[in-house]
Structure 1
Amino acid sequence: MKSNKEIILDIHEKPSAVNWFSLSFQHLFAMFGATVLVPFLTGLSPAVALLSSGLGTLAFLIITKGQVPAYLGSSFAFIAPIITATALGGPEAAMLGSFLAGLVYGVVALVIKAVGYKWLMRLLPPVVVGPVIIVIGLGLAGVAVNMAMLENPSDPSTYSLLHLSAALVTLILTVIFSVYLKKGFLSLIPVLLGIVGGYIYSYFVGLVDFTGLKTAKWFQMPEFVTFYTGVDFSWNIVWLMVPVAVVTLSEHIGHQMVLSKVVHRDLIAKPGLHRSIMGDGVATIIASLIGGPPNTTYGENIGVLAITKVFSVFVIGGAAVLAITFAFIGKVSAIISSIPTPVMGGVSILLFGIIASSGLRMMVDSKIDLGKNRNLIISSVILVIGIGGAIIKVSEHFEVHGMALAAILGIVLNLVLPDREVESGDVYDINDNLK
């Protein structure tokens, strides 16, 4: 039903063959920079990230009966847990944790189908989720800065002014593009433009190595990672990865509310929040089975929908097919791998800061009164526990780390402290900059 004259293509309308490719390519560009940044930071394969993004999006469209035009890409919320899990048990351990997080989505989807979704918002109000989002951003600050100024991000003695200059050029360009490109498609890809600009600068100062690009094949199988053949179950991985799902669930609901406004439909009611959450969970499970980072709906692609007024799920599906195709083009993976570390460090400084700021914005928009001791205590404990990296270690097989511990304590404090405000159950919008 096309009730709004501004709509160019409604959800179930197909574009012409001539326009289909270009419209889908826009969505691919919109998600590309952020989606490949996550595997770059965590040591996973960018090609597998693209493949899991495309497969996850197609699965999402099927599960939501082709009624939700959302694109799914790599989730920023899982960056720190993946890095920690990989250090504990290799990438296979991180994939096991991702798989379990995906199962949590499935369980929540089934509960929502049975009893509705308002209980979830009462469990995760802005006073809990806002500070946890801040922890996600600020907890990664050291990673971004080390990438920006060190030749070897793990060795503090390798400071390089040349590397820092590449990071600053990338950062400055990304900021300029973000501020001054206010209209049109280019306004949706300032991160990608900043990376391209930093890459060009790095080439002229001798930081780009094309060896891998020269030897890469045009057709090349991605480097898959499978947890089910080489990792032992560990409760440490469970407590490290699974609690992050509480944050990404809140993000998902926020995106569905924003998307509902954009496409002029109540997607929470039809096809139902349980279907979109199940789709998100299945996409994350698919990623975990092949070695990709967990997936989540992307705000950038919602922005593309809002600007183009093209809501067609066929366009979204086309973008997914393009991502899958790119995953098997070895030259594409080689180009991504040739991006100098300081370039990614420079753009990460902005992106991680934006994540932290989006948590603060949520608290402001939700009118969280920090003059109340209850709210002040909850947010303070979450921030210090999360950013400080506190760990509860009962034995070799039971550890709860930083962000996961902060999220759990925040939920508990919100439930047990007196003077808890009664939530209306309305869903709040989460800033689209959080992935």
Structure 2
Amino acid sequence: MSMLGMKWKLHGTGKSIKPGHVVAPDERLAWPLTIGVGMQHVVAMFGATFLVPIITGMPPATTLFFSGIGTLLFLVITKGRVPSYLGSSFAFIAPIMASQQQFGVPGALGGVVLAGVALALIGAIVQKFGAGWINRLMPPIVTGAIVALIGLNLAPAAKMNFDAAPLTAVITLATIILVSVLFRGIIGRLSILVGVVVGYVVAMLRGEVSYDKMEAASWIGLPHFQTPEFHVGVLGLFVPVVLVLVAENIGHVKSVAAMTGQNLDGVSGRALMADGAATVLAGFGGGSGTTTYAENIGVMAATKVYSTAAYWVAGIFAIVLSFSPKFGELIA
């Protein structure tokens, strides 16, 4: 099976993963299972991808749209060698909010575009001359720490959600743990998706889900697109973001390389260029800046499925969902 020139060979029978084995980026499970894993990646990115636009006042559906588009663009530019999902970057929250106060949303979008251009240029330099100079400036201990800190930055959001519905949160967490421990097959590898479904049902039964705004929203509608404006004054706000994105991106690529046992040094530049291109595209359309997601790397570590086919599913699914205002209200 191929998609835009990318081909995946079936992993074994396509129905299971032997102990100690992994599904490589150029492999896939049977399509029903691949779709399930892809949906799990969508679930994993929901929290952060929607939280960033909610905090900054950007349209969530637009951000979701460019998240899906950016992921597909990333897979194409990296030639399917780096399994990763591109979601909203927390690094953009502070500069977007600061620039909005002086230049409005268009000015903030201009800053996002400029950050993406800078990231893509750094990626081109890395692709041409290698990542050695970045490795010297930001060795593994630095990039690893940054990836860890970005993950820890999600802790306050998790605590806030936990405090809002403690019983539902405990049941969701317990379900994920129990499914992971009790089921060794593919069901165990979909523990996060199962946990979210169970948690949502519990929340619904406990009356913790409001459907008022969802019922008022239409089933199908276009995301709200906006165009950027460029101001010199935003440069100082967004330059530090580029450094964070470089460290984050390289750290994630190294993590994937370590987990898959593959040498991905040759595509580090492409990964940066792809992230930059996706961020530029998002900025020109009204979305938040993107980055590779540690949450989805965690899903791969748990499932042992590193297939880029699952990310194609996730990206396409995100794009489809972005055209449903009703879904946007449901998640928000």
> Normalising by the residue count of structure 1, what TM-score does the alignment of the two structures yield?
0.61
Gaps of 5+ in 2: 1-8, 182-187
Bigger relative contact order (CA 8 A; separation at least 6): 2
Letter in 2 for 1:221: L
Aligned CA distance change for structure 1 residues 12 and 136 (closer, same or farther; 3 Å): closer
Distance in 2, matches of 1:87 and 1:132, equals 29
Q: 1:256 to 1:130 in 2, by over 3 A?
A: closer
User: Which of residues 239, 250, 253 is equivalent to 1:253?
Assistant: 250
Look up the match of 2:49: 35
Q: 1:323 to 1:106 in 2, by over 3 A?
A: same
How much does 1:288 deviate?
A: 1.1
2:221 aligns to what?
220
Q: Structure 2 CA distance, aligned partners of 1:248 and 1:34?
A: 16
Q: Is 1:249–1:277's contact at 8 Å kept on the other side of the alignment?
A: yes
1:47 matched to 2:44 = no
Q: Deviations over 1:77-131 (max 9, x none)?
A: 2112222122222221221111111111111112212322122233346679969
Within the candidate set 283, 288, 308, 2:278 is matched to 283
The counterpart of 2:329, out of the listed 334, 341, 345, is: 334
Alpha carbons 1:20, 1:315 under 8 Å: kept: yes
1-side partners of 2:75 and 2:150: how far apart?
Answer: 31
Q: CA deviation at 1:171?
A: 7.4
| Separation in structure 2 between the aligned mates of residue 202 and residue 191 of structure 1, nearest angstrom | 16
Residues 182 and 242 (structure 1 numbering): CA distance in 2 closer, same or farther, change over 3 Å? farther
CA distance in 1, matches of 2:299, 2:150: 28
| Cα distance in 2 between the residues matched to 1:28 and 1:296 | 15
Q: Determine helix, strand or coil for the equivalent of 2:329.
A: helix
Report the counterpart of residue 295 of structure 1 in structure 2. Answer: 290
Q: Quote how far apart the aligned CAs of 1:190 are.
A: 11
Contact 1:169 1:201 in 2 (8 A): no
Name 1:266's counterpart in structure 2.
263
Cα RMSD for the two superposed structures: 3.8
State the distance in 1 between where 2:24 and 2:143 align: 37
Aligned residues: 310
Deviation at 1:259, TM superposition (A): 0.2
Do residues 240 (structure 1) and 233 (structure 2) align?
A: no
Match of 1:75 in 2: 89
String of CA shifts for 1:294-319, please: whole Å, max 9, x gaps: 11111222222233332221221011
Kindly indicate whether the alpha-carbon contact (under 8 Å) linking 1:15 and 1:315 is maintained by their aligned counterparts in 2.
no
The one-character-per-residue Cα deviations of 1:322-365 (angstroms, maximum 9, x if unpaired) are: 0100001121111123xxxxxxxxxxxxxxxxxxxxxxxxxxxx
Bigger CA radius of gyration: 1
Moved more, 234-243 or 49-58: 234-243
For 1:311, the equivalent position in structure 2 comes to 306
Contact 1:129 1:247 in 2 (8 A): no
Determine the C-alpha separation between the residues in 2 that align with 1:327 and 1:119: 39
Aligned-residue offset at 1:251:
1.1
* CA contact 1:34–1:191 (8 Å) conserved in 2: no
Task: Pick from 112, 119, 122 the counterpart of residue 108 of structure 1.
Answer: 122
Does residue 1:211 correspond to 2:225, yes or no? no
- Alpha-carbon separation, structure 2, partners of 1:262 and 1:135: 19
Normalised TM-score (structure 2): 0.78
Provide the C-alpha distance between the structure 2 equivalents of 1:16 and 1:190, rounded to a whole number of angstroms: 19
Contact 1:166 1:198 in 2 (8 A): no
| Alpha carbons 2:180, 2:189 under 8 Å: kept | no
State the secondary structure of the residue aligned to 1:305: helix
Where do residues 53-68 of structure 1 align in structure 2 (5 Å cutoff)? 53-68=67-82
**Unpaired segments of 5 or more residues in structure 1?**
149-162, 338-435
Which residue of structure 2 lines up, in the alignment, with residue 166 of structure 1? 164
State the shift of 1:180 in Å.
7.9
Identical amino acids, percent of aligned pairs:
35
Give me the whole-angstrom Cα distance separating, in 2, the residues matched to 1:85 and 1:174.
Answer: 38
Determine helix, strand or coil for the equivalent of 2:109: helix
* Per-residue Cα deviation, 1:254-309 (whole angstroms, up to 9, x for no partner): 1111101222211123xx21111111111111211221111111122222223333
Local SS of the residue matching 1:296: strand
CA distance in 1, matches of 2:95, 2:194: 27
Question: Which residue number corresponds to residue 3 of structure 2?
Answer: none
For 1:323, give the aligned amino acid: A
Matched-pair contact (CA < 8 Å) for 1:221–1:328: yes
Judge conservation of contact 1:97–1:242 (CA < 8 Å) in 2.
no
Alignment of 1:92 onto 2:92 = no
The one-character-per-residue Cα deviations of 1:149-169 (angstroms, maximum 9, x if unpaired) are xxxxxxxxxxxxxx9963767
1:246 CA displacement: 0.2
